[in-house]
Amino acid sequence: MEQSLSVLVIDDDPLIRLLVSSKLQAIGLNVLEAASGEEGLRLFDERRADAVLLDVMMPSGIDGYKTCAALRGRPHGEHVPVLMMTGLEDIESINRAYEVGATDFITKPLNTTLLGHRVKYLLKGSQITQQLLLSKQKLHQLAYYDELTELPNRLFFLEYLQRMIAQAERQKTKMGILFIDLDGFKRINDTLGHQVGDRVLQVIGKRLYKSIRANDALVRSGKNSEGVSLARLGGDEFTLLLTALERNESAVTVAERIRVNLAQPIIQGRHELVTTTSIGIAVYPDDGVTADELLKNADLAMYYAKRAGGDMYRYFSIHMTEIALRRLTLENHLRKAISRGELELHFQPQLDIIQGEFNGLEALLRWNNQEVGPILPAEFIPLAEETGLIISIGEWVIREACTKVQAWRKRGFSLNRIAVNVSAVQFLHRGFPEVVEQILNETGLEPKILELELTESALVSDVDYVMDVLTRLKEIGVQLAIDDFGTGYSSLSRLKDFPIDRLKVDQTFVRNLEQSTNDSAIASAIIAMAGSMDMKVTAEGVENDFQLDFLKQKFCDEAQGYLLSKPLTAMQLEDFMTKRQPESSTFFVD
Ligand code: C2E
Ligand code: MG
Ligand code: MG
């Protein structure tokens, strides 16, 4: 067996190469020789040795450690046995040898008889390992994969699902299980034969794979999965696991995409085949907490979809199907909302408590769709975020707000702040500061008039990136506020490093000022803290005099709420401003 095996000897000392080579040839091995690390690597690439003998100290070029590390980085060098030859017997050089991936080491001066045994032993060991690896892979392949589509099979899926359930339980996350079944596949099989049927299944498997690979902001399923979350259970049944599902209804986006992708005709020779799909969706933990339960309920939901005519998805929970349907309807309408002019901004005045004047506004988005009616931001903003539509909508909001306020300032209204809400998705999207800058240029609004309200969630992700964006925005000259402060998890120590100008105390604390000593303590603390950090504070949701008095006593800078004014349409706001500031048209702008 050793006849065909070759050993690469890398050593700068020709005498040692000679010694070693003759010994190894004597025991029936082929020997390749190299005088430096570089030459050794080149030879290895060309001829691929079954073992490598490597000198540690080679004065010219790369030393043995580097050579070994480089060898390990090569596709065929990963498992090859490497025996390091070292004159240094200290612990550190031995440790280093193992660190760079040496299999074993031998000390110089060499005992050539011992060396022969060592090499033989190494080669044998590595061959056994190789064989084991191969058969293991083969076995794994047979047990866990479906040969026809090369997708994971039922066994794999169930085991994977079990593992993911354990993880979801720990991390308190949701998951979606999609049970996908072709409509009328039996007919294809019966009329056109199994071969065509098999081809169709292969095509479907590929399309499914593609459907989940398509980058999806809302379901991070494909990310860690490399396709493992997709499986063929058997026949024309496929399953898909969506991990990290944010909301139950998010699964429909994937389900819809699959339904549409699979409905494309499949060309098979002279035949153009069209198959529709029925999809059942079960959600962990709502619809089951074990793998069997979830699979069974997703299957049942698929059956509902079939019974209702096929070519559709159904949730296991009937209630969820309704919610999902509304979501899909809204999503479709939202895509066209800007172009159809369905979006509008309302403006809520903010009171400067000390001056007793209204100088600031918050822009609040309104959406009115003819078919569905008015929809609240609380419902459509998350949808816009999940679908990525928030990028264009958010840009529209900033542009519209700047345009309106610039026009009002020109008319002499005393407005020195327009606050605009910015979603985390929008803020973290590449190029956001440039968009802001561009809009300011277009509209001619002074940058310091624009205040961006960020959420704590936008600031807790990648700190360095966040810091970059904030710095860019401050360079442009806009003001930065944190909205709904106190409800997120941002650490105060980190916050103080960010260039933030204002905190907005969340409504919930303001609402309970009278009833809850806890909430009034929090509100007071936020106001005091902002002061000490040189930030301004605005209290939101001020609805009665008690609350306003409290804020006044605590030296809160600004207040906003129904007590002072509800959010107003542009027309109402013009009225409001004119009544409040009769002389404003002849007075200061700032
Ligand atoms: P927010 O930024 O905290 O806005 C304040 C919300 O409180 C507004 O709700 C406002 O109408 C409401 N509000 C104002 N005063 C009072 C009061 O005295 N009592 C009570 N109970 N509520 C009051 P709205 O307009 O429904 O907006 C809800 C949320 O939607 C906003 O919360 C904001 O996070 C988001 N949003 C609104 N417009 C936009 C936008 O253009 N872009 C983004 N990304 N988010 C927006
Ligand atoms: Mg806000
Ligand atoms: Mg708020």
Name the band, by pLDDT with cuts 50, 70 and 90, for residue 588: very low
Q: What is the DSSP string of 352-389?
A: ETTTTEEEEEEEEEEEEETTTEEE-HHHHHHHHHHHTT
516, two tokens: 């809850």
Is any ligand 1 atom within 6 A of the Cβ of residue 381?
A: yes
Judge if the beta carbon of residue 348 lies within 6 A of ligand 1.
yes
Residue 157 has pLDDT above 60, yes or no: yes
The region of weakest confidence among 37-41, 88-92, 354-358 is: 88-92
365 CB near ligand 1 (under 6 Å) = yes
What value does the mean pLDDT take over residues 548-570? 97
Give the residue carrying structure tokens 């099979």: 153
Q: In angstroms, rounded to a whole number, what is the distance separating the alpha carbons of residues 463 and 10?
A: 47
pLDDT at 581: 63
Length of the chain, in residues: 590
Q: Is the pLDDT of residue 93 over 50?
A: yes
Atom of ligand 1 nearest to the CA of 543: 18
Predicted pLDDT of residue 495: 77
Q: What percent of the chain is modeled with pLDDT above 70?
A: 91
Q: How do residues 95-115 score in pLDDT, each as one tens digit?
A: 888 888 888 888 777 777 778
pLDDT of residue 101: 86
CA distance 153 to 379: 39
Residue 497 in this model has a pLDDT that exceeds 50: yes
Cis status of the peptide bond prior to 567, with omega within 30 of 0: no
Going from the Cα of 364 to the center of ligand 1, the distance in angstroms, rounded, reads 6
Kindly give the number of the ligand 1 atom that is closest to the alpha carbon of 394: 42
Rounded to an integer, the average pLDDT of 158-162 is 89
Closest CA to 247 of 310, 312, 326, 301: 326
Burial class (CB in 10 A: 0-12, 13-18, 19+), 199: middle
Q: How far is CA 89 from CA 56, 84, 105, 107, 114, in A?
A: 11, 11, 10, 7, 17
Cis, peptide link before residue 152, omega less than 30° from 0: no
Whole-number Cα distances in Å, 225 to 162, 247, 533: 15, 20, 45
Among residues 344, 430, 429, 432, the alpha carbon closest in space to that of 380 is found at: 344
Ligand 1: residue whose CA is nearest its atom 35: 377
Of 442, 399, 398, which Cα lies nearest the Cα of 422?
Answer: 398
Name the closest-CA residue to atom 37, ligand 1.
364
Query: Chain-centre distance of CA 156, in angstroms?
Result: 25
Lowest-confidence pick of 95-109, 126-140, 307-321: 126-140
- The pLDDT score that the predictor gives to residue 18 is 82
Average pLDDT estimate for 377-384: 92
pLDDT at residue 590 tops 80: no
pLDDT in tens, 45-65: 888 888 999 999 888 889 999
For the segment 506-532, the average pLDDT, to the nearest whole number, is 90
Give the residue, 146 or 489, on which the prediction is more confident. 146
**Residue predicted with more confidence, 306 or 588:** 306
- Looking at this protein, which amino acid is placed at residue 31? V
Q: What is the pLDDT of residue 128?
A: 67
Are the CB atoms for 550 and 352 separated by under 8 Å?
no
Per-residue model confidence as pLDDT tens digits over 470-492? 999 999 999 999 999 887 666 66
CA angle at 311 for the pair 385 and 275, rounded to the nearest 5°: 115
Evaluate whether 314 touches 301 at the Cβ level (below 8 Å): yes
Across 338-357, average pLDDT: 96
Other beta carbons less than 10 A from residue 430's beta carbon: 8
Residue 383 pLDDT more than 50?
A: yes
Binned at pLDDT 50, 70 and 90, residue 538 comes out as: very high
pLDDT, the chain, mean: 87
pLDDT at 116 over 70: yes
User: Taking Cα atoms as reference points, which of 494, 564, 588 lies closest to residue 533?
Assistant: 494
User: What value does the mean pLDDT take over residues 211-227?
Assistant: 45
Q: Which of 570, 516, 213, 187 is nearest to 366 (CA)?
A: 570
pLDDT for the residue numbered 585: 41
**Residue 103 CB–ligand 1 contact under 6 Å:** no
* DSSP 3-state of 75: coil
Please tell me the least confidently modeled range out of 430-444, 491-505, 545-559: 491-505
Q: How far is the CA of 25 from the centre of ligand 1 (A)?
A: 82
- What secondary structure letter does DSSP report for 110? P
Cα–Cα nearest to 459, from 430, 436, 488: 488
Tell which atom from ligand 1 comes closest to the C-alpha of 542: 18
**Confidence at residue 462, expressed as pLDDT on a 0 to 100 scale:** 80
503 pLDDT more than 90: yes
Q: Whose CA is nearest to atom 43 of ligand 1?
A: 421
Among 346, 348, 364, 379, which residue has the most ligand 1 atoms within 8 Å of its CB, making it the best to mutate?
Answer: 364
pLDDT band at 201 (very low <50, low <70, confident <90, very high): very high
pLDDT band with cut points at 50, 70 and 90 for residue 340 = very high
With a 6 A CB cut-off, is 506 part of the ligand 1 pocket? Answer: no
| pLDDT reported for residue 228 | 43
Would the CB of 567 count as within 6 Å of ligand 1?
yes
Per-residue pLDDT at 314 exceeds 80: yes
pLDDT (0 to 100) of residue 217 = 38
- The tokens describing 518, both together, are 């806890």
User: CB of 9 within 8 A of CB of 34?
Assistant: yes
